[in-house]
Chains A and B, each alone.
Chain A
Amino acid sequence: MIKVDQVTKSYKPGQYALRDCSMLVQRGEFVFLVGPSGSGKSTLLRLMLREERPDQGHVFVAGKDLGAMPDWKVPFFRRNIGAIFQDFRLLPNKTVHENVSFALEVTGKPKKVVATQVPQMLDLVGLADKADRLPNELSGGEQQRVAIARAFINKPLILLADEPTGNLDPDTSWGVMRLLERINRTGTTVLMATHDVGIVDSMRRRVIELDKGMITRDQVRGVYGIG
């Protein structure tokens, strides 16, 4: 599903964000990316979203070589990838319903589809009663659930999450994690960069650790620290 093959990426000459990284993620896996700030987790996710191109090596997502993908194909590629972030990235002047339906409108889905799918999705994330609120009227956990609804509404093959619980308190974080687990059970591959030791330790999923742009650990049922 995701194959990173000897990828090197540097933003400044002589400083590597990623150095000769290789990893393989199978369909339906749930993977944590851990490591200190600046270790290259976000860069790896940006490469997978084709927000950056690798300097060397190849990134394959859903069978496509992203480095070789022409710009005009990128929007169509991104519709198959869900992404959520620490800062939610919702459109501040659109309501919850509009934020979620936007991801469908972008793909040119007819109104009827939007009208039935969006309420279903909001129901799934438990926000059916807040459809007409604006993002700043919601709590952080609720905003992240809107972002998840938006990311998942196109039924993506892969969900990329960049510290989705970074701004949330532990209880709310668990709410978000349960939602991600549920999404993973539908067969969606989930790749999540995180600093949250508690979550990584108790979920017992595959853990890939990065340090200074290099992969230092890849454990099938790992914990945050060396275990």
Chain B
Amino acid sequence: MAFSVDYVLKETATNLWRNRLMSLAAVLTIAVSLALVGSSLLLKQGVSVATSQWQGGTQLLIFLQPNATAAQTSAIGDQLKATSAVKSYFYVNQASSYTEFKRLMANQPDLLSSVNQSQIPPSFRVALKDPAEAAAIGQIFNQQVGVRDVEYNRAAIDTMLKISSIAQLVILGLATILLLSASVLILNVIRVAIFSRRREVAVMKLVGATNWFIRIPFMLEGLLQGLAGALVAAVAVAGVRSLFGYVIHHFRVQLLSSFVLTGHDLAMTEIFVISIGTLVGAAGSLLAVRRYLDV
């Protein structure tokens, strides 16, 4: 089956131009739907980051002096191991603490630039068998050499974690529903566009065009529309991210200061939006043209 690339490109280009109003409708639908999906995913990611520091059931944080010696550090580790009320613990060194700090404080560049890695305290994160004992155990370790501070007032943390995970679930659910309705909407727009060209498909069949010969330009057309819509959506999602950052920074919303969206989060969301856009565009055309092919 010899398809000339020339033919396919020419056919796709002229079809897009001759049906430009329909193309525009499809592109806009895809753009609006995917912008909503992408934004809600980004929001979910933000909430997840904001609470990530409390994940893993940590109830006790033992901050060491930034200049604590290796001997002091291992002594505290040994003592934690020996304490029967401790369920588990792990050590976070200066380097990873600094990475986490940078992530959490990404919204506050002034603070970031004034602190370097050597000033960041390493810490032990401790999970207890009974969270109620946090205060008592915290007191014991507070007096150790090399310990700078112990944070054990974590009663609120569990509640916060719960709220956060519910919020994330709700947002994820919304995003899924949005994605589903976006797919149906996009499919329908493409279907209408192709319905208006069913005569064209019938004529193609009449002169002996194979099904793939008819499908490929339609699919490429859908793919390009999906891509165009997704790119618009990607720009919108990036805009939403900047807006979040601006609002939090400008109005000093302290409650949300840990609501940070990194470049990585944004990039993943954008990749998702663009792949879904092109996929739905191409698959939508394929599905829509199918019914006019059985003659």
B1-A103 in contact (CB<8A): no
A79-B4 in contact (CB<8A): no
Complex: A93 Cα to B6 Cα, angstroms:
19
Chain A neighbourhood of B210, CB < 8 A? 72, 75-76, 106
A79-B207 in contact (CB<8A): yes
B199 CB to nearest chain A CB (Å): 8
B208-A79 in contact (CB<8A): yes
B204-A108 in contact (CB<8A): no
Q: In chain B between 204 and 238, which residues have their CB closer than 8 angstroms to a CB of chain A? A: 204-211, 213
Complex: A102 Cα to B205 Cα, angstroms:
11
> In the complex, which of the residues B3, B204, B206 has the most CB atoms of chain A within 10 Å of its own CB atom?
B206
B1-A108 in contact (CB<8A): yes
Chain B neighbourhood of A51, CB < 8 A? 295
Nearest opposing residue in chain B for A93, CB measure: B18
Q: In chain A between 132 and 158, which residues have their CB closer than 8 angstroms to a CB of chain B? A: 150, 154
Q: List 30 A-B contacts (CB under 8 A).
A: A75-B209, A75-B210, A75-B211, A76-B210, A78-B208, A79-B207, A79-B208, A83-B206, A89-B202, A89-B203, A89-B206, A92-B199, A93-B18, A93-B200, A102-B204, A102-B207, A103-B207, A103-B208, A105-B7, A106-B204, A106-B207, A106-B208, A106-B210, A106-B213, A107-B208, A108-B1, A108-B3, A108-B4, A111-B4, A150-B207
**Is B136's CB within 8 Å of the partner chain A?**
no
Chain B neighbourhood of A90, CB < 8 A? 203
User: B-side binding surface: helix, strand, loop or mixed?
Assistant: helix
Chain B neighbourhood of A111, CB < 8 A? 4, 6
User: Interface 1/0s, chain A 90-119, versus B by CB < 8 A?
Assistant: 111100000000110111100100000000
Complex A-B, nearest 6 residue pairs according to Cβ-Cβ distance, in ascending order: A79-B208, A108-B2, A78-B208, A103-B207, A106-B209, A75-B210
Chain B neighbourhood of A150, CB < 8 A? 207
Chain A neighbourhood of B7, CB < 8 A? 105
A156 CB to nearest chain B CB (Å): 10
* Interface range for B: 20 to 34
Chain A neighbourhood of B203, CB < 8 A? 89-91
Measuring CB to CB, which residues of chain B are less than 8 angstroms from any residue of chain A?
1-4, 6-7, 14, 18, 199-200, 202-211, 213, 295
> In the complex, which of the residues A49, A78, A106 has the most CB atoms of chain B within 10 Å of its own CB atom?
A106
Other than the given A79-B208, A83-B206, A111-B6, 4 more pairs (CB < 8 A) read: A75-B213, A91-B200, A92-B199, A108-B3
> In the complex, which of the residues A103, A111, A154 has the most CB atoms of chain B within 10 Å of its own CB atom?
A103
Chain B neighbourhood of A106, CB < 8 A? 204, 207-210, 213
User: Interface 1/0s, chain A 47-75, versus B by CB < 8 A?
Assistant: 00101000000000000000000001001
A83 CB to nearest chain B CB (Å): 6
B120 CB to nearest chain A CB (Å): 67
Chain A neighbourhood of B211, CB < 8 A? 75
Complex: A89 Cα to B295 Cα, angstroms:
15
Chain B neighbourhood of A107, CB < 8 A? 208
Chain B neighbourhood of A75, CB < 8 A? 205, 208-211, 213
Chain B neighbourhood of A102, CB < 8 A? 204, 207
Complex: A90 Cα to B200 Cα, angstroms:
8
B205 CB to nearest chain A CB (Å): 7
Complex: A113 Cα to B205 Cα, angstroms:
22
Complex: A83 Cα to B204 Cα, angstroms:
12
Complex: A93 Cα to B210 Cα, angstroms:
21
